[in-house]
Amino acid sequence: MTRTREAIVVGAGLGGIGIAIQLKRLGIEDFEILERNDDLGGTWHVNHYPGLAVDIPSVTYSFSFEPNPHWSRWYAPGAELKKYCEHVAEKYDVRRHMRFDTGVESARWDDDSGEWHVQLADGSTERSTYLIVATGFLSQPKVPDIEGIETFTGKVIHSTEWDHDYDFTGKRAGLIGTGATGVQLIPEVAERAAELTVYQRTAIWVTPKLDFAMPGLARRAFGAVPLTQRAARLWNSTVLEALLAGVVNFRRLRPAVKAAERIGRRHLARSISDPELRRRLTPDYDFGCKRPTFSNSYYPTFNKPHVHLETGGIARVDGDSIITEDGTRTEIDVLVLATGFSLWQTNFPAFEVIGRDGVNLGKHWRNTRFASYQGITVAKFPNYLHLAAPYSYAGLSFFTTIEAQMKHVDRLFGELRRRQATRFEVTESAADAFTDRMQRRIDDSVWTLGDCATSRSYYFNEQGEATLARPTTTWQNHREQETFPLDDYDYA
């Protein structure tokens, strides 16, 4: 066993980087960031498939305290995001705290010593006073449970493990999944492959992407007068906020959601003239039930003669073929899985976490309810922060969530200091009151009042409850994280 560190952070993605910056602002230097991958950046390290780009404008999709005047486009390509992660980690001196190729198997709170014992994949144990889990929502790739898929005789590529050496030229490709990843990948695979069959189970709402190369003048202005970039961020974040407001306040702002649907329908109609194809690409659930996306190239791809849309449902994979439920057999050379991530099955949490009195976090959430306090702490889990907790996902840009959580940590650890305490635990009554309030607010959202039955949205847990997103405005979220009652925690 090694000595007890002040903190261990699990995950070197943007969440882990943000929280590490916050720890350093608080003067905490004795911490380690454990990362199972071989480099930092989380999602922006793992994903490098062709066409990868942010789908939230980059002036908003970045830390507010570290604007980047160098984005090449309004929606930066993924490689620039990876560089941005590296830049932030270097500038804020958090890279040296990172240990790569270090998987965490489990963590257990030891009440006698007041420390977390963190079991690593290599069998060793690390100890820390505070444990911060920053493993994200979208970190456990999902391989679909389709009969025969493991015996497919061709090449299989999951979007999180892109093989840049594989040459699609002349190949017959099959692609499963039409989420945000599929929407970015499909036009790219169509450009390269001889044939492409897209297997869509649930259509996605797609609105136009107002994308453009950043004019040199704008970049120079952003660099020379940071206020200009802050103004662009404010304007863009307000637009995104308005979109979100309709979704979380569906009871009152239903017309906003319907307006977004009309934009999506018009976008589809302008791109696809075949009414039958249009019908199959039209979602049959309300906008906002499921994460929508933005693209100008997705719909037009289906007009190409070598691109086929299959909506009949996959029955099984047999040798080199995919067989749909109506018996259609399509021979393919390569199967691309844009099948997303397993949130509720293998996340929440991503590894075993045992808190006070031997409470197992995953079982506790499933046996009682998915609860948290302010989307970051959990009763019975002392000195524990879980960044991807229930009701933590706020706003459309991930940075809204992480920066709000940084504010929470600032206030909580500030109070710990003031009291000269080393231990915190949210009270059960405060966590219950927060979760009850979030559940009541969910009752006003599209997730309760809208028609979401067919959406198959990861916003809903396995019991069909929308326990992922925080149903408040991002401004309210930030205000609450800065002002929550300090006696919502016990300190020792």
Site for ligand NAP in 198-217 (CB under 6 A): 199, 201-202
Q: Give 41 or 177: the residue with its C-beta nearer to ligand NAP.
A: 177
Residue 117: other Cβ atoms inside 10 A: 18
Q: Give 72 or 429: the residue with its C-beta nearer to ligand NAP.
A: 72
Determine if 425 is a binding residue for ligand NAP (CB under 6 A). no
Identify which range of 9-17, 33-41, 48-56, 208-216 contacts ligand NAP by CB under 6 A: 48-56
Query: Whole-number minimum distance, CB 358 to ligand NAP, in Å?
Result: 33
Query: Whole-number minimum distance, CB 202 to ligand NAP, in Å?
Result: 3
Radius of gyration of the chain (CA): 23
Q: DSSP secondary-structure letter at 105? A: E
Question: Binder to ligand NAP among 83, 219, 254, 291 (CB under 6 A)?
Answer: 291
Which phi-psi region, left, alpha or beta, contains residue 101 (left: φ > 0; alpha: ψ -120 to 50)? left
Determine if 176 is a binding residue for ligand NAP (CB under 6 A). yes
- Residue 419, φ and ψ in degrees, nearest 5: -90, 0
Q: DSSP secondary-structure letter at 214? A: P
Q: Taking every pair of C-alpha atoms in the chain, what is the biggest distance, in angstroms?
A: 69
Site for ligand NAP in 128-147 (CB under 6 A): 138, 144-146
* C-alpha closest to that of 450 among 266, 244, 254: 254
CA 441/CA 470 separation, integer angstroms: 9
CA 401/CA 144 separation, integer angstroms: 29
Question: Binder to ligand NAP among 58, 129, 139, 178 (CB under 6 A)?
Answer: 178
Q: How many residues bind ligand NAP (CB under 6 A)?
A: 26
| 261 CB burial (10 A radius; 0-12, 13-18, 19+) | middle
Identify which range of 21-29, 103-111, 339-347, 422-430 contacts ligand NAP by CB under 6 A: 339-347
Query: Whole-number minimum distance, CB 76 to ligand NAP, in Å?
Result: 10
Determine if 354 is a binding residue for ligand NAP (CB under 6 A). no
Determine if 54 is a binding residue for ligand NAP (CB under 6 A). yes
Query: Whole-number minimum distance, CB 208 to ligand NAP, in Å?
Result: 15
Identify which range of 103-111, 171-179, 258-266, 364-372 contacts ligand NAP by CB under 6 A: 171-179
Site for ligand NAP in 450-469 (CB under 6 A): 456, 458
Determine if 193 is a binding residue for ligand NAP (CB under 6 A). no
| Cβ 146 vs Cβ 317: under 8 Å | yes
Cα–Cα distance list, 315 to 195, 201, 312, 321, 336 (Å) = 21, 12, 9, 11, 17
Q: Give 22 or 445: the residue with its C-beta nearer to ligand NAP.
A: 445
CA 387/CA 398 separation, integer angstroms: 11
Q: DSSP secondary-structure letter at 36? A: S
* C-alpha closest to that of 244 among 452, 445, 387: 445
| Cβ 175 vs Cβ 198: under 8 Å | yes
Determine if 312 is a binding residue for ligand NAP (CB under 6 A). no
Q: Give 69 or 312: the residue with its C-beta nearer to ligand NAP.
A: 312
Query: Whole-number minimum distance, CB 3 to ligand NAP, in Å?
Result: 38
What residues form DSSP beta bridges with 384? 131
Query: Whole-number minimum distance, CB 176 to ligand NAP, in Å?
Result: 5
Q: Give 314 or 361: the residue with its C-beta nearer to ligand NAP.
A: 314
Determine if 338 is a binding residue for ligand NAP (CB under 6 A). yes
CA 180 to chain centre: 11
Determine if 246 is a binding residue for ligand NAP (CB under 6 A). no
Amino acid (one-letter) located at 417? R
| Residue ranges in contact with ligand NAP by CB under 6 A | 53-55, 138, 144-146, 176-182, 184, 199, 201-202, 291, 314, 338-341, 456, 458
